[in-house]
Structure 1
Amino acid sequence: MGPLVLNTRPETDSADLVAALDARGYRHLSAPMLHISFPARQNPLDISHYQGLIFTSANGVRAFIGLSSERTLPALCVGDATARMCQEAGFNSVHSANGDIHDLATLIRQKVMASDGPLFHPAARKTAGDLGAMLRDDGYEIDRQTVYEAIASDELPEDVLTAIRRHHIDAVLFFSPRTAETFVKLVQSYKLEGDLDRVNAICLSPAVQSKISDLTWHRTHVASQPTQEYLLSLLGSVVTACRT
């Protein structure tokens, strides 16, 4: 049997990941640490005075295309997966950073001028990092509006609890600081801290890794680039090394 991997991503973001795990022969369980809600909006979005759009997640794209038919403004995206969603939605001009909010800030500086007007950032209420603060000294005005909610999970599925307690899980995948933080809180609430010492934590970035440092793992690992492809490549290296 293939290694057993725990996916902590929200369901809305997991389709490509699950397909990739299946293609690589992994067994997998899911414990979404965030549940995505797209609340109804009373008034349509008015984005006529913005020079471009900022997307820090695929869910931001999903929310935006349900609220506006605008596809001509430049879309400045945190990474390739978000950029692909923009392209599939019909945006004319799509630019992708390397998967990190700091890279996105650099991309914005390169692609648009602060003097050309404000940028619209459809996002969740809580985000990883503050783009507005990062770019304020450069003169950029970023209007971040909440268009969806990422609600932290308050429980672990029974099959996941059983697998952790029986030490069946080989690796846990973490894609964001908030999912990692939520996982830690749930592990502590279920008193599972002693059941992860044989498990590898596979993290998208150092910021994600920092959120799981309170738990005792077999090892924690960080992808060399903050993309799903690099994370899966790292996963393959880790589980191969553990089984040889």
Structure 2
Amino acid sequence: MYLLMTRPRAASERFVAQLSQPVQEVIEPVYSPLLDIRLVGEDVDVGDTRGLIFTSSNGVAAAARIMTARNLPCFCVGQATTVAARRQGWSASMAGESAEALIAGLLRQRPDGPLLHLRGQSGVGDVAQTLTQLGLTTRERVVYCQDLLPLTDEAVSALGGSAPVIAPIFSPRTARQFADLVQPVAPLLLAAMSDAVAKPLISLTAQAVRVAKRPDSDAMVTAVEKLVKQALRVEGGPDAH
């Protein structure tokens, strides 16, 4: 069966490496990134900022490429983003597993402000505006944008075949692009990072749409591995017994 990875290539390869060895042995990865990350601007003027907010690993990676200072504390969404910020040299803590949870967490913590949200052009959730309205002054700066990409020929071929295709989808924007592009012939099983990611996928004729229990990479690995087992049972593979 195929594992169709729609994240940027490096992130996709890291995700595949997280899968258990038995699962890796029965899947063939197909890499077809649907978004291309492009930096916006050449520097970030933090001014009187007292802390940074990151709501994605892409934001961390973009900021790390256009900023040299690492002296400000960071408040992050999710464990993966927190780990990414730490690896880039920031003192980072997870403030919540979603944008809404981060807002609630920061309002409880009340860190010294103003804060600066470094985000993508198409980010969802008005983090800076909401925090400011609720008394925690927060500005925002777009540090990257995401250009939509078509499916690769390899992905189109897999989706048009007879072998099951499992596709983990990690963001609402990727989900919308996937739903717009895909007309599956192959049995399609989808793992969605959250309910918001799953919503655009409803229009597809998928055999299964499994929503991760938490919006993080470990939960997505679990969701994908359960879909692999489901596909093996349907196909009468070694897991069927």
Cα deviation code 1:184-220 (max 9, x no counterpart): 1112xxxx25x25x21110010000011111121111
| CA distance 1:144–1:12, shift in 2 (3 Å) | farther
The one of 215, 218, 221 equivalent to 2:204 is 215
Equivalences for 1:94-133 in 2 at 5 Å? 94-113=92-111, 116-133=112-129
- State the 1:22 CA deviation: 7.3
Does 1:171 pair with 2:166? yes
TM-score where L is the length of structure 1? 0.86
Unaligned runs of 5+ in 1: none
Counterpart amino acid of residue 2 in structure 2: L
Equivalences for 1:165-204 in 2 at 5 Å? 165-187=160-182, 192=183, 195=185, 198-204=187-193
The one of 145, 154, 163 equivalent to 1:149 is 145
The one of 5, 19, 22 equivalent to 2:17 is 19
Contact 1:203 1:222 in 2 (8 A): yes
Equivalent in the alignment of 2:226: 237
- State the 1:12 CA deviation: 4.6
Contact 1:55 1:75 in 2 (8 A): yes
Contact 1:180 1:211 in 2 (8 A): yes
**SS across alignment from 2:202:** coil
- State the 1:179 CA deviation: 0.5
Aligned-residue CA RMSD (Å): 1.9
Cα deviation code 1:28-58 (max 9, x no counterpart): 11111110112452xx422131121001111
| CA distance 1:12–1:111, shift in 2 (3 Å) | farther
Cα separation, 2, equivalents of 1:238 and 1:13: 20
Instruction: Give the paired residue count.
Output: 230
Cα separation, 1, equivalents of 2:221 and 2:96: 16
Q: Matched residues, percent identical?
A: 29
Counterpart amino acid of residue 92 in structure 2: V
Unaligned runs of 5+ in 2: 234-239
Counterpart amino acid of residue 56 in structure 1: T
TM-score where L is the length of structure 2? 0.87
